[in-house]
Structure 1
Amino acid sequence: MGAELPFWKTKTLTAMTRSEWESLCDGCGRCCLHKLRDEDTEALAWTEVACRLLDTTSCQCRDYANRRDHVPDCVKLTPKRLARIDWLPPSCAYRLVAEGKDLPDWHPLVSGDPSTVHSSGASVRGRAVSERAAGDLEDHVVDWPGEWPSEGPKG
């Protein structure tokens, strides 16, 4: 007999417990990078500039529970909101599960090791710029946050 399938293969996003939902986040920090949207074309541009609450080494929020008190426009991701969001990176587990795809091998739920998101090059570690030191966001537009992570360690 085969092993039991993991929850992300058997449950919809709306059927997941809060703990399961939260564990889907791989801790890459890409969603915590500032994005720019062209007013005329609605085109999205990624930046390498991290939210002021993102620890760019651990790629974790410094005050996740109270983040919206500090950053009022921080988006609380829910299954309903997910359907309307076009800025999640292609490797985001929430996006992958919603699209009926599997998680990558480096995802902590698959690898069993939270460091694989960093060693795979999927996280913002070593590539994000602090919001407080960045200056104009337009000077920090990059493509990599919106692309599938390349293989190989990135610090």
Structure 2
Amino acid sequence: MLPPWTILARYLKYRSSWEDLCDRCGRCCFMREVDEDGDVIIDYAAPCAFLDAKTRQCTVYERRFETCNLCNRITLRHALFANHLPEGCAYTRIFRDKNEPGFESAETAARPQSNGEKANTPKRYRKDG
């Protein structure tokens, strides 16, 4: 884990553009569950009802918290400790990596592709990394 002063410095740097950190890849918009071993299982066959499968974008993004009761705001606590965020999530890259990655706003960054994820293939993430 990064030292607290590094985390604080990064949070202060990005807090005014917190929403822009999101890659808008859509990978966190699928049903997830934690198994008995603490692994997070993401079911890519069960997307959120508001996820456009073709563009992998939320169709109600600006109103997502009011519209979808399963959508949760990502906080600094999530960025630091949550084990359900997908690999490569911008929030975890910025607040967990020792070397801060370059940052582009969501409007200018190229959107990540699905990385060959099959729609019906659940993916596991270990809770310890």
Computing the radius of gyration over CA atoms, which structure comes out larger, 1 or 2?
1
Q: Aligned match of 1:77 in 74, 79, 87? A: 74
**How far apart in 1 are the matches of 2:115 and 2:49?**
14
CA spacing shift, 1:126–1:43, aligned 2, 3 Å:
closer
* Count of residues in correspondence between the two structures: 114
- Which residue pairs with 1:142 in the alignment? 122
Unpaired runs of at least 5, structure 1: 1-10, 130-139, 147-155
**Identity %, equivalent residues:** 23
The code of the aligned residue for 2:63 comes to: N
Superposed CA offset, 1:35-61 (max 9, x none): 1222x3332112113211112222221
CA spacing shift, 1:96–1:47, aligned 2, 3 Å:
same
Q: Aligned match of 1:101 in 96, 99, 110? A: 99
Q: Aligned match of 1:43 in 24, 39, 42? A: 39
The root-mean-square deviation of aligned C-alpha atoms, in Å, is: 3.0
Deviation at 1:125? 8.9
Q: TM-score normalized by structure 2?
A: 0.67
Name the stretch that deviates more: 92-101 or 76-85.
76-85
Instruction: Say which structure is richer in helix.
Output: 1
Instruction: Using CA pairs under 8 Å that are at least 6 residues apart, name the structure with larger relative contact order, 1 or 2.
Output: 2
Unpaired runs of at least 5, structure 2: 1-8
**How far apart in 2 are the matches of 1:113 and 1:65?**
18
Q: TM-score normalized by structure 1?
A: 0.58
3-state SS in 1 of match to 2:81: coil
Q: State whether residues 30 and 123 of structure 1, in contact with CA within 8 Å, keep that contact through their aligned partners in structure 2.
A: no
